[in-house]
Amino acid sequence: MDAKYGRESPLSVQRGQIHEYLGMTLDYTTKGKVTFKMDDYISRLMAEVPEDMNGTATTPAANYLFQTNPDAKKLNKQTSELYHYLVAKLLYLCKRVRPDIMTAVAFLTTRVSSPDQDDYNKLSRCIKYLRGTKDLHLTLEADEQMTLKWWVDASFAIHRDMRSHTGATVTLGKGSLYSMSTKQKINTKSSTEAELVGVDDALPMVLWARHFLEAQGYEVQDNVVYQDNQSAILLERNGRASSGRRTRHINIRYFFASDRISKGELKVQYCPTMDMVADFFTKPLQGNLFRKFRALILNLPGEDLKLVGSDHRSVLKQVSRTKYRQDDPTPLASQLVSASLLD
């Protein structure tokens, strides 16, 4: 094998239950689970930050994350380059093992071209949060249902240019296999339209994940997208048939979901707002709700996943009560994460 594939440089082989790959540590020592860590990466990052970023914070961003101040002082060239460098490091980290900082990083990346002092302060808070939570890791477990469960949400007109923000996350049991937090590319006229555009943003990954798993030989039982906007769900299920005076202007491309739903490739279901995990990726949550969703996304041990403010039967509680396989499902989890997150 080395003679065939190692012509440019010798191949390295790792065996056992702990593997190193692209700065990550993949730990399979617990049966039925795989844990992703980047402890050394975080330690090196903390050693590079300036002294004015010392300290800790309880969340990666304050409530005013998406607010900008046009009168704020612009950073000098040296500090601006440092800002860009640190944000790039955080982007690499959040895409692999720390999705809990993804919303903050998603905003910070929109400011790298001309950052100001407010942006620097927001970066500082994210660094402080990371320092205080450096021991948190992402742990994945697959269940026996083989159902992809997606949560997709949008925050309407939250950016300064009045564009909305899309958030999405998916699980096959416990822990988020893939998450996204991104500024929408167009302006929308209502929260319903923003939700529709948000599903369109996530749909390529929703479809790809199913096709990828089926190509590996797994039988996907269902592919469910949860949303908290009933009007958007009607439009996605029925297309133009549910379109009225206020939604006739919506581009036909955003009814692509209707075609895929009719073909049985996915289905959309309602999820109450207090159970909407994707809220974690569309707004800077605080306090108990932040901790609850973080525990679900990272699959933190010993955390109570009971949702606050919800008296109904929660779709998240259904996930947390799922019976898990006795055999080791981690190769499936690691395949999907490696293929989707290491881009």
Q: 71 falls in which pLDDT band (50, 70, 90)?
A: very high
Residue 22, classed as helix, strand or coil, is coil
Among the residue ranges 87-91, 231-235, 261-265, 302-306, the one predicted with the least confidence is 302-306
Beta strand 267-270 with 222-227 is parallel
Among the residue ranges 29-33, 294-298, 299-303, 307-311, the one predicted with the least confidence is 307-311
Please report where in the chains the tokens 């191949």 appear, as a residue: 11
CA pair distance 106, 155, nearest whole angstrom:
13
13 versus 241: the higher-pLDDT residue is: 13
27 versus 258: the higher-pLDDT residue is: 27
| Average pLDDT rounded to a whole number, residues 73-80 | 96
**pLDDT given for residue 120 in this prediction:** 97
Q: Which two tokens stand for residue 238?
A: 């029925």
DSSP structure class, residue 143: B
**pLDDT given for residue 301 in this prediction:** 79
Tally Cβ neighbours within 10 Å of residue 180.
21
**pLDDT given for residue 340 in this prediction:** 43
On the question of pLDDT at 131 being above 90, the answer is yes
Q: What is the pLDDT of residues 269-290, one digit of tens each?
A: 999 989 999 999 999 999 999 9
CA pair distance 39, 153, nearest whole angstrom:
31
On the question of pLDDT at 337 being above 80, the answer is no
CATH 3.30.420.10 location in the chain = 143-341
CA pair distance 28, 35, nearest whole angstrom:
7
| Average pLDDT rounded to a whole number, residues 245-265 | 68
On the question of pLDDT at 302 being above 80, the answer is no
| Average pLDDT rounded to a whole number, residues 45-59 | 96
| Average pLDDT rounded to a whole number, residues 131-153 | 93
Chain centroid offset of residue 309 CA? 23
| Average pLDDT rounded to a whole number, residues 320-333 | 41
4 versus 319: the higher-pLDDT residue is: 4
* DSSP notation for 242-254: G--TTTTTS-GGG
Beta strand 222-227 with 24-27 is unpaired
Q: Which of 233-247, 290-304, 311-325 has the highest mean pLDDT?
A: 290-304
Q: 261 falls in which pLDDT band (50, 70, 90)?
A: confident
Residue 305, classed as helix, strand or coil, is coil
On the question of pLDDT at 343 being above 70, the answer is no
**pLDDT given for residue 72 in this prediction:** 95
On the question of pLDDT at 2 being above 50, the answer is yes
| Average pLDDT rounded to a whole number, residues 34-41 | 96
Please provide the CATH number assigned to the domain covering 143-341. Answer: 3.30.420.10
**pLDDT given for residue 101 in this prediction:** 97
237 in Cβ contact with 294 (< 8 Å) = no
* DSSP notation for 184-241: -SS--SSHHHHHHHHHHHHHHHHHHHHHHHHHTT----EEEEEES-HHHHHHHHHGGG
Q: What is the pLDDT of residues 102-123, one digit of tens each?
A: 999 999 999 999 999 999 999 9
Q: 262 falls in which pLDDT band (50, 70, 90)?
A: confident
**pLDDT given for residue 253 in this prediction:** 60
Please report where in the chains the tokens 């593997």 appear, as a residue: 19
Q: Which long-range contacts (CB under 8 A, 24 or more apart) does 78-84 make?
A: 79/120, 80/114, 80/115, 82/50, 83/112, 83/115, 83/119, 83/120, 83/123, 84/112, 84/115
On the question of pLDDT at 249 being above 90, the answer is no
Q: Which two tokens stand for residue 176?
A: 């988020």
On the question of pLDDT at 145 being above 70, the answer is yes
